[in-house]
A and B are shown apart, each in its own frame.
Chain A
Amino acid sequence: QVQLQQSGAELAKPGTSVKLSCKASGYTFTSYYIYWVKQRPGQGLEWIGYIYPGNGGTYYSEKFKGKATFTADTSSSTAYMLLGSLTPEDSAYYFCARQRYYFDYWGQGVMVTVSS
């Protein structure tokens, strides 16, 4: 069955970076977009952007350009998101999701806490 398994919770200091992972299984990794979505506690869903593992193509929301960097390792069917120059505003849940028009499978989410 299709699964997206995300890495564990992160506690990071302001100004540092974290790299989140999303390991896909149960489908052809290179045939679907992987989106990353941010959700602050009690708030709505905010898309960050996507990577298409088939060709490595990426697209970023204007708001997250320079903040997020997507990569993918097709040999391990894992997508990554590097979040840099962290501030307390980056504290949130981050989800990866498989997309072909709609987001039919989601990772379990990972909490990133930015605190000194």
Chain B
Amino acid sequence: DIQMTQSPASLSASLEEIVTITCQASQDIGNWLAWYQQKPGKSPQLLIYDATSLADGVPSRFSGSRSGTQYSLKISRLQVEDIGSYYCQQAHSNPPTFGGGTKLELK
């Protein structure tokens, strides 16, 4: 199985701050990478797919990038509604493995 190593595990940031979360794939997955947001008590929601494409309805302050086998999710100006957990997921090979998650809190 492809391993997805996500960091940091937790993050505390202030409103309007730039936030970056990264995921390292254990092998080449091309652009087959998604990011999900999970707010407390809710199911995960697709944020970004194909490493850089924004899902429908996702604010433009979210963006995804890739450098080799390292992938990043960036929130350009943190808002209150962005608080929650974030997960990456590779879709290159079965099984579709998730990163361990990043819990984002307000400082």
Chain B residues contacting A80 (CB-CB under 8 Å) are none
Taking residues whose C-beta sits less than 8 angstroms from the other chain, chain B's interface range is 20 to 34
A43 — nearest CB in chain B belongs to which residue?
Answer: B101
Alpha-carbon distance between A32 and B43 when the two chains are bound, in angstroms: 19
For B17-41 the 0/1 string (1 means CB < 8 A from A) is: 0000000000000001010100000
Q: Which B71-107 residues have a C-beta within 8 angstroms of A? A: 87, 89, 91, 94-101
- Whether A103 and B32, one on each chain, are in contact in the complex, defined by CB atoms closer than 8 angstroms, is no
Q: Is the CB of B87 within 8 A of A44?
A: yes
Against A, the Cβ 8 Å flags (1 = close, 0 = not) of B35-59 are 0100000111110010000010000
Closest Cβ of chain B: how far from A60's Cβ, in Å? 10
- Flag whether A82 is at the interface (Cβ < 8 A): no
Offer 6 A-B interface pairs, CB within 8 angstroms, sorted by A.
A47-B96, A61-B95, A97-B43, A102-B34, A106-B45, A108-B42
Give the interface size bracket for A toward B: 10 to 19
- A107 partner residues in chain B, CB cutoff 8 A: 43
Chain B residues near A108 (CB-CB < 8 A) = 42-43
CB of A104 within 8 A of CB of B46, answer yes
Residue A9 lies at the interface, judged by CB distance under 8 Å to chain B: no
> Is the CB–CB distance between A44 and B101 below 8 Å?
yes
Q: Which of A61, A95, A103, A106 contacts B89 (CB 8 A)?
A: A103
A72-116 with Cβ < 8 A to chain B:
95, 97, 99, 101-104, 106-109
| With A44-B87, A103-B34: A95-B98 Cβ-Cβ less than 8 Å | no
Kindly report which residue of chain B lies nearest to residue A61, judged by CB atoms. B95
B44 touches A47 (CB 8 A): no
Chain B residues within an 8 Å CB radius of A11 = none
Are A101 and B91 in touch, CB under 8 angstroms?
A: yes
- Known A44-B87, A47-B97, A97-B44; further 6 A-B contacts with Cβ < 8 A: A46-B98, A95-B43, A103-B44, A103-B89, A104-B46, A109-B43
Complex contacts, A101 vs chain B, CB 8 Å: 32, 49, 91
